Chain A
């Protein structure tokens, strides 16, 4: 018998970038160190409209954690935003310059391929949670605005433990109009 996998997303609800940005502002985030990916494109636009947070685009994901470590040492409050595939590329930086130094850093990880069914054809999704477990990085999954109360908890946990904490973004950010982003 042949089984045809159904990969339709089971995620309900929408994740609005402006709501995430509002939380980052409230939490006093100073820098958003990122390499954009397709799922977070709209978040990038929302951040460009937020003057209190400095965007730091990097050329490769492995740079993001070291840049954030330097910012933290200088008294800033950075976050990192990279895709799951990029997190794998950044593995040694995570080891040496986050876990290895006890860096309280919240990392937003794009959960590419996530569909809530477990079985996904995208290995970037398949390996994310095992990867985080293996590296002993605690995490929450955020799939919609309803989950955003987990974000402040992630910051509290990172600060309390002096360890990185991941927020896996399990859906594509919603597109918002220029009016919603404060544009004309």
Chain B
């Protein structure tokens, strides 16, 4: 079983200049290791939709790798995205699914089924490849070859659950942060600072 901190550390070491779309507990740990905040988006105000946002970025900038640090509960809420991603087949999309079998941010309640095989589901939907890791050494050693292969690739990571006793730390502050992150990312990807204010936060 792998910890969030270790998983995010090794993914960050292999990141290069990839965009990182994160959600839920992954965002907290990713923010502790990322050296490229202008290439990060923490999806806090878009329930379960990190993989769909990542798909859009991957299609829109096909020259740059896109990491999606998804959660098992989030993916279950947006399961059709596996078929959508497979159908569009973005070669630059690497879909990491952190599988801990629980809803961490709401206190650790179990998912409807603890036995979903996300890597097998991705393969069945038509991803180019899918892998599953439950120890950090294997993940670390396999990443270079995975990331040099054409996507979309799903990498299921068996994670040690960390249920949050006092709820999630991603409400107002994170919701307000997301529009700013998205504007910073658009500026970084396009070179244009042309997305003005809008919405309730800016």
Please determine whether A66 and B182 come into contact, CB atoms closer than 8 angstroms.
Answer: no
Query: Which one of A70, A93, A99 lies within 8 Å of B57 (CB-CB)?
Result: A70
Please determine whether B80 and A63 come into contact, CB atoms closer than 8 angstroms.
Answer: yes
A72 at the interface (CB under 8 A from B): yes
Q: What number of A-B contacts does a CB cutoff of 8 Å give?
A: 133
B190 at the interface (CB under 8 A from A): yes
Query: Which one of A69, A92, A163 lies within 8 Å of B182 (CB-CB)?
Result: A69
B112 at the interface (CB under 8 A from A): no
B side interface size, CB within 8 A: 40
Decide: A73 near B179, CB < 8 A? Known: A66-B49, A92-B47, A93-B49. no
Decide: A75 near B61, CB < 8 A? Known: A62-B49, A92-B47, A100-B175. yes
Bound complex: CA A70 to CA B201 (Å): 19
B87 at the interface (CB under 8 A from A): yes
Query: Which one of B49, B80, B192 lies within 8 Å of A59 (CB-CB)?
Result: B80
Please determine whether B59 and A54 come into contact, CB atoms closer than 8 angstroms.
Answer: yes
Please determine whether B56 and A69 come into contact, CB atoms closer than 8 angstroms.
Answer: yes
Instruction: Annotate B188-201 by CB proximity to A: 1 below 8 A, 0 otherwise.
Output: 01101001111111
Instruction: Annotate B41-78 by CB proximity to A: 1 below 8 A, 0 otherwise.
Output: 10001110100111111111100000000000000001
Interface size class of A (residues with CB under 8 A): 35 or more
B9 at the interface (CB under 8 A from A): no
B185 at the interface (CB under 8 A from A): yes
Instruction: Report A-chain residues with C-beta under 8 Å of the C-beta of B132.
Output: none
Instruction: Report A-chain residues with C-beta under 8 Å of the C-beta of B52.
Output: 58, 63, 66-67, 70
B83 at the interface (CB under 8 A from A): yes
Instruction: Annotate A60-103 by CB proximity to B: 1 below 8 A, 0 otherwise.
Output: 10110011111111111010000000000000110111011111
Query: Which one of A67, A75, A95 lies within 8 Å of B53 (CB-CB)?
Result: A67
A30 to B, closest residue via Cβ: B60
Please determine whether B60 and A162 come into contact, CB atoms closer than 8 angstroms.
Answer: no
Bound complex: CA A107 to CA B48 (Å): 21
A55 to B, closest residue via Cβ: B88
Instruction: Report A-chain residues with C-beta under 8 Å of the C-beta of B47.
Output: 92, 96
Instruction: Report B-chain residues with C-beta under 8 Å of the C-beta of A103.
Output: 198-199
Instruction: Annotate A149-170 by CB proximity to B: 1 below 8 A, 0 otherwise.
Output: 0000000000001110000000
Decide: A96 near B87, CB < 8 A? Known: A69-B56, A69-B182, A75-B189. no
Residues of A at the B interface (CB closer than 8 Å) are: 31, 33, 54, 56-60, 62-63, 66-76, 78, 92-93, 95-97, 99-104, 161-163
A selection of 20 A-B contacts at a CB cut-off of 8 Å is A57-B84, A58-B80, A59-B84, A62-B78, A66-B53, A67-B52, A70-B55, A70-B59, A71-B59, A72-B186, A73-B41, A73-B53, A74-B186, A76-B60, A96-B175, A97-B45, A100-B179, A100-B201, A102-B198, A102-B199
**5 additional contacts (CB under 8 A) given A67-B84, A74-B57, A101-B45:** A70-B60, A71-B60, A73-B53, A73-B185, A99-B199
